[in-house]
Amino acid sequence: MAEGSDLSDLIDEYRAYLQRFDRLVGDVDFGTPAKWKGRLVTKLPYEQFETRWTELKKFESAYQEIMARGDTVNDSLQKVLRDRAAELLLETKLL
């Protein structure tokens, strides 16, 4: 779980996510499936958002390290990054 300013940043990210969700997908109840860019997404409550956000940041960091070393990126890592970004309604800049 996040601490101090990290928690404040995470809460700000969650607020931005909710605004993004309402703008891009519409007014949908939490947990109700909806379509965004051809993918099924659901509006996440804070606890699920926190988990998905943390996973995305962890995988983004691993991806950046791989790219910095010039290594080959695993297809499964790319899929996880795309899936997490889509769940959070983020355009991935990495792939």
* Residue 84 half-sphere exposure toward CB, CA atoms < 13 A: 22
- Using alpha carbons, select from 34, 51, 47 the residue that is nearest to residue 89: 34
| SS3 state at 87 | helix
pLDDT at 93: 66
CA–CA separation, 22 and 94 (whole Å):
25
Tokens matching residue 71: 């290594």
Average pLDDT over the chain, rounded to an integer: 88
The dihedral through the CA atoms of 15, 18, 23, 24 has a sign that is: positive
pLDDT category of residue 8 using cuts at 50, 70 and 90: confident
* pTM of the complete model: 0.79
Cβ-Cβ contacts under 8 Å for 40 (sequence gap 6 or more): 33, 34
Q: What is the pLDDT of residues 32-51, one digit of tens each?
A: 999 999 999 999 999 999 99
Cβ neighbours of residue 41 under 8 Å, at least 6 residues apart?
21, 25, 33, 34, 35, 86, 87, 89
Q: With bands split at pLDDT 50, 70 and 90, how would you rate the model's confidence at 80?
A: confident
